[in-house]
Chain A
Amino acid sequence: MTATALEPIDESEFRAQGQFEDNRLSVYLWGNADHRGTTLFDTFLAAADRESVAAGVKEVVVDFRQLMFMNSACLKSLVTWLRRVQERPPERQYAIRFLQEPEAHWQVRSFSALIAFGRGVLTVE
């Protein structure tokens, strides 16, 4: 597969970009994903999912280590994305791996809850 990129989010407070390479989509997040970024993040994740299925990727890695904050509405977008993947037939699913910053309280708290219903799809490192 040739490397391609997702349409990025490039706001002053919140940035996201995704790069396809081999059988993987790598997503990087920076800044503050608050109420101003919710709709953009929803759209970004929907595109990431759609294009991952189309490209037949096996894994999506999301790097949260430079993300300072994510509000509950953006976390809800992650829940929706996980659910969308889980509801597909296994042959059209892909694995999701979150890279977390262990010093970020909101990440530890939120991901420990998220991993319960991302079972079978989501891992957190």
Chain B
Amino acid sequence: MTEAARQENEIASRVQASILPGEIDVEGLAIAAQMLPAEVVGGDYYDIIPVEDACWLAIGDVAGHGLAAGVIMLMIQSAVQSLVRLSPQASPRDLVCALNGALYENIRKRMRRDEHVTFCLARYTPDGGLVFAGAHENILICRENGTCDNIPPKGTWLGAMEDVREVTQETKIQLGPGDLMLMFSDGVIEADDGRGGRFGLDRLRELLVANRERSPQEVRNAILAALLRWTERPDDDVTLLIIRCHGVYWST
């Protein structure tokens, strides 16, 4: 890589890091998140977008990494921000399908590339309702009683087919006070210990359950510490989005 290309990559990396949300206050929720890119520029993405009477949560992963994946990630970030701000009351399914249309047009038709995106968009409301759509990793929810729900998404990847409406479904779940939710990218469970062993979903779930009494920041740090003991240097981007439901406010 030339010096100029290296500098441009570093600028892209800074843009990408700065566009992710920092610590965000959302009424009724405590949230901690982290994205660690495997290369200078990553293909993972997450966002937290509070709107009136709701909070939108998004997580995604562009297949592959490097500059092209990073550029597509920035497209997703901008498109999701615009869609949510234009239609804060919309259904996640409708916005996922609209996002897919934009990605298909850009990636397949204009850029003539073959990346696809795993993506999940969720809308949380203060009554504890969470509605999500898309196809990303499973969502883990550790209930206050210590049980852990493992909820698979129902949909397909984005950017690879023109219209995903037929195959995109919404899932509705109820969060209660004390529940702890984890959204993550494949770089977490697929981290390789150098001998072909994967970190795995079971280990992640055990960590979540073992740390369920701790704050989201502490849970995040515990998972990252375990992951970096497992693999010194992850070969894929790693994203964690951890949400604690503090209170449920039933609308009148």
Complex: A57 Cα to B116 Cα, angstroms: 28
Interface of A, secondary structure class, is helix
What residue in chain B is nearest A38 (Cβ atoms)?
B64
The answer to whether the Cβ of A51 comes within 8 Å of any Cβ in the partner chain is no
User: Is the beta-carbon distance between A113 and B156 smaller than 8 angstroms?
Assistant: yes
How far is the CB of B140 from the nearest CB of chain A, in Å?
12
Q: Which residues of A contact B161 (CB under 8 A)?
A: 116-117
Q: Which residues of A contact B70 (CB under 8 A)?
A: none
What is the interface residue range for chain B against chain A?
A: 20 to 34
Q: Which residues of A contact B73 (CB under 8 A)?
A: none
Complex: A72 Cα to B164 Cα, angstroms: 20
User: Is the beta-carbon distance between A35 and B235 smaller than 8 angstroms?
Assistant: yes
Stretch at the interface among A16-24, A58-66, A75-83, A93-101: A75-83
Query: Given that A13-B196, A34-B235, A76-B63 are known contacts, is A117 also in contact with B115, CB under 8 Å in the complex?
Result: no
Q: Which residues of A contact B189 (CB under 8 A)?
A: 105
What's the A-B contact tally at a CB cutoff of 8 Å?
61
What is the interface residue range for chain A against chain B?
A: 20 to 34
User: Is the beta-carbon distance between A72 and B235 smaller than 8 angstroms?
Assistant: no
Complex: A109 Cα to B155 Cα, angstroms: 10
User: Is the beta-carbon distance between B235 and A109 smaller than 8 angstroms?
Assistant: no
The answer to whether the Cβ of A68 comes within 8 Å of any Cβ in the partner chain is yes
| Top 6 A-B pairs, shortest CB-CB distance | A116-B156, A117-B161, A116-B167, A76-B63, A113-B135, A72-B63
* Chain B residues close to A by CB (< 8 Å): 61, 63-64, 114-116, 118, 135, 137-138, 152, 155-157, 160-161, 164, 167, 186, 189-190, 192, 196, 198, 201, 235-236
User: Given A79-B160, A105-B201, A112-B152, list of 20 further CB < 8 A pairs?
Assistant: A31-B196, A34-B235, A35-B236, A69-B190, A71-B186, A71-B190, A73-B64, A75-B63, A76-B114, A76-B116, A79-B114, A80-B114, A83-B160, A109-B152, A113-B135, A113-B155, A113-B157, A116-B155, A116-B156, A116-B167
